[in-house]
Structure 1
Amino acid sequence: MKTVIIYASVHHNNTKKIVDVIADEYGVDIIDAAKITEKDLSGYDLIGFASGIYFGKMHQAVINFAEVNLPEDMDVFLICTYGGKPVFDSIKGIIKEKQGRIVGEFSCKGYDTFGPFKLIGGISKGHPDKNDLDNAKAFFKGLCKNRNL
């Protein structure tokens, strides 16, 4: 199964840590949406979108990438790191418009120093931690198992 994860990881590389551990363990391709805005994804069997949560939505670079590049009728999984709570609504609409299927969601806390959190030294310090990374690998392994791969 050929898989790609399109991600944006801006402040503390929380999301990149999750993406990298999956890519290293399972040979998944990765694309940094903040650097690459267009890519033909038609050769992939499974597409992931990953981001931190910014003002209640995924990073705009990931949303823009999905709008422009997500092929019709694809299986998609979602990953986010967050300081407050996981939110995927911003990208789910795009996937639905393109008749995609969401086959899994993974989220975990990520170190957050945005706005007022900076004044108190941030929240969710130390995350994603080893347990979060192990859970991310288990999530992806489960996706593969559920797809009989």
Structure 2
Amino acid sequence: MRVLNLTLALLAAVTVTGCASGLGGGDYERAETRRVMNVRMGVIESVRLVKLEGTNSPIGTLGGAAVGGIAGSTVGGGKGSAIAAVVGAVVGGMAGAAAEEGMTRKQGVEVTVKMDNGEMLAIIQEDGGEGFKPGERIRLLQDGRTTRVTR
């Protein structure tokens, strides 16, 4: 029962990590407020769906290692139990890292834009449901660190 409770708590922590703010055209970090953005206009040439890799933080690895180590320690006795705990921790850590990355993976879009000055740019951002289409006129917002496509 104790292992089950720990497993559920760690899965909840990994899931909360996956609910971090989005990276779509309408999503802003708090630090972006009151910052000047350059606005450039252009027309969408193409839109392609892409996959954005998930988070790979120590939370999934450590959580999986803890659960695997505890589960492994219940196998056998004496030295066998210690070896099983180490093996369980290693396998659990790998499984926890893979689970975190998979649960936090997001759908993205690659938007290719022909700017008014003729320059061609491709911007990749999280798919925020904007439904961009070729031929659509858009704004490109840039501040030196961040670039986003918006209407």
Question: Does TM, scored on the shorter chain, surpass 0.5?
Answer: no
TM-score range, shorter chain: under 0.3
Q: Which has the larger radius of gyration?
A: 2
Which structure shows the bigger proportion of residues in helix conformation?
2
Return the TM-score normalized by structure 2. Answer: 0.23
Q: Higher relative contact order by CA 8 Å / sep ≥ 6: 1 or 2? A: 2
Return the TM-score normalized by structure 1. Answer: 0.23
